[in-house]
């Protein structure tokens, strides 16, 4: 009888210890919200975080995508359209009730609208901005109290197109350029709460962004009107192919997100491109803008002074 009582007591102690350990692990498992996690870059980020042991709230719109995400360890799918405030509010409640808190936000959900700026419909332009610009704004605003409480991180997927721009990608570039300035202002404001803010600017990686854009164009009859840029648009496919399976997997983008979220010294900007030419093109665009801004006014600097300023910026960055 004494042996039986001893075994019951031992089992009770072990169970209590296991429950406490499980609760501690639950609380210590940092949670991250990833929007637009159904495919492409967002799916890669969600799976990478989950494999590394982080808990991921993965936002998606379609039930089949939610089911697929829920089947992955360390991932809880959340029905989340970044253009619908009621779904965002419900997502906040879901995260709050779970009790894990929220350490990071990855604003990834995005769409692409292509077309000449003097021809693109206002409806398409509103759609572009509603997802790519107002989406991150809505998500960040809604989840800010949780991020402030955890002294966490906020990261947004931008694009080198937000720096370079070009013909027929005006709507998309406008939305991503806006996120550059959004990130800068938000970073300054959130510094008060020890919250780090960053933006990751990918180049061309394997995703469904162009495929989804083509489907939208096909559904929108207003885009089928004869264009003044018919000849120029014919060559668009070679630069933005629908089949992007030959492009590199966005593993490097996920690695940048990991660094932005968890490094002791996160960067404000992460340019992540698959080939040297994309990096060079982007940097040359920035240099070209600097030269144009410097020329032809009362406070212009000569080449030596510009180089000195550039060296000072590099030195200051290396000291951080």
Residue 319 pLDDT: 85
Asked whether residue 220 carries a pLDDT value surpassing 80, the answer given is no
Asked whether residue 11 carries a pLDDT value surpassing 90, the answer given is no
Average pLDDT over residues 205-214: 67
Closest CA to 215 of 184, 242, 245: 242
With a CB cutoff of 8 Å and minimum separation 6, the contacts of 67 are: 77
Q: Which residue has the tokens 């000449």?
A: 116
Residue 41 pLDDT: 95
Phi then psi for 309, rounded to 5 degrees? Answer: -65, -40
- Is 137 part of the annotated catalytic residue set? no
Residue 320 pLDDT: 77
Residue 19 pLDDT: 42
Instruction: For residue range 92-142, list pLDDT tens digits in order.
Output: 999 999 999 999 999 999 999 988 999 999 999 999 999 999 999 999 999
Domain ranges of the chain: 29-274, 278-320
Asked whether residue 33 carries a pLDDT value surpassing 70, the answer given is yes
Supply the CATH classification number for the domain 29-274: 3.40.50.720
Active-site choice (172, 182, 239, 270): 172
**Cα atoms in the Cβ-side hemisphere of radius 13 Å centred on 174:** 19
- The vertex-81 CA angle with 85 and 242, nearest 5°, equals 150
What does the alpha-carbon distance between residue 42 and residue 18 come to, in Å, rounded to a whole number? 34
Q: Is 175 exposed, middle or buried (0-12, 13-18, 19+ CB in 10 A)?
A: buried
Distance of CA 111 to the CA centre of its chain: 12
State the pLDDT confidence band at 17, using cuts at 50, 70 and 90.
Answer: very low
Average pLDDT over residues 1-26: 48
Asked whether residue 216 carries a pLDDT value surpassing 90, the answer given is no
The mean pLDDT value of the chain amounts to 88
Q: Is 165:234 a contact under the CB 8 Å cutoff?
A: no
Asked whether residue 183 carries a pLDDT value surpassing 70, the answer given is yes
What does the alpha-carbon distance between residue 178 and residue 118 come to, in Å, rounded to a whole number? 20
Instruction: For residue range 284-309, list pLDDT tens digits in order.
Output: 999 999 999 999 999 999 999 999 99
Closest CA to 113 of 200, 289, 236: 236
Q: What share of the chain is helix, strand, coil (3-state, %, to 5)?
A: 60, 10, 30
**Cα atoms in the Cβ-side hemisphere of radius 13 Å centred on 306:** 14
pTM of the entire structure?
Answer: 0.87
Closest CA to 75 of 40, 43, 113, 105: 43
């Amino acid at each position: 009888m004494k042996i039986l009582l001893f075994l019951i007591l031992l089992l009770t102690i072990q169970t209590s210890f296991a429950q406490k350990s499980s609760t501690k692990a639950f609380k210590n498992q940092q949670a991250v919200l990833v929007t637009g996690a159904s495919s492409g870059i967002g799916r890669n980020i969600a799976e990478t975080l989950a494999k590394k042991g982080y808990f991921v709230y993965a936002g998606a719109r379609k039930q089949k995508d939610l089911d697929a995400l829920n089947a992955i360890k360390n991932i809880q799918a959340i029905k989340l359209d970044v253009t619908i405030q009621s779904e965002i509010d419900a997502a906040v409640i879901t995260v709050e009730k779970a009790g894990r808190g929220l350490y990071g936000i990855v604003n990834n959900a995005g769409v692409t609208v292509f077309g000449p700026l003097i021809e693109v419909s206002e409806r398409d332009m509103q759609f572009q901005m509603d997802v790519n610009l107002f989406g991150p704004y809505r998500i960040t605003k809604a989840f800010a109290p949780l991020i402030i409480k955890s002294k966490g991180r906020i990261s947004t997927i931008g694009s080198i197109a937000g720096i370079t721009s070009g013909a027929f990608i005006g709507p998309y570039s406008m939305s991503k350029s806006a996120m550059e300035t959004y990130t800068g202002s938000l970073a300054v404001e959130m510094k008060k709460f020890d919250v780090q803010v960053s933006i990751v600017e990918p180049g061309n990686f394997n995703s469904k962004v162009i495929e989804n854009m083509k489907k939208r164009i096909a559904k929108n009859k207003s885009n089928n009107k004869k264009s003044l840029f018919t000849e120029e648009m014919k060559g668009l496919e070679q630069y933005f192919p629908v089949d992007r399976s030959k492009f590199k997997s966005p593993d490097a983008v996920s690695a940048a997100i990991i660094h932005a979220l968890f490094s002791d010294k996160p960067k404000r900007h992460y340019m992540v491109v698959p080939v040297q030419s994309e990096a060079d093109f982007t940097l040359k665009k920035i240099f070209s803008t600097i030269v144009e801004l410097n020329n032809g006014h009362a406070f212009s600097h000569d080449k030596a002074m510009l180089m000195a300023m550039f060296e000072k910026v590099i030195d200051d960055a290396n000291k951080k």
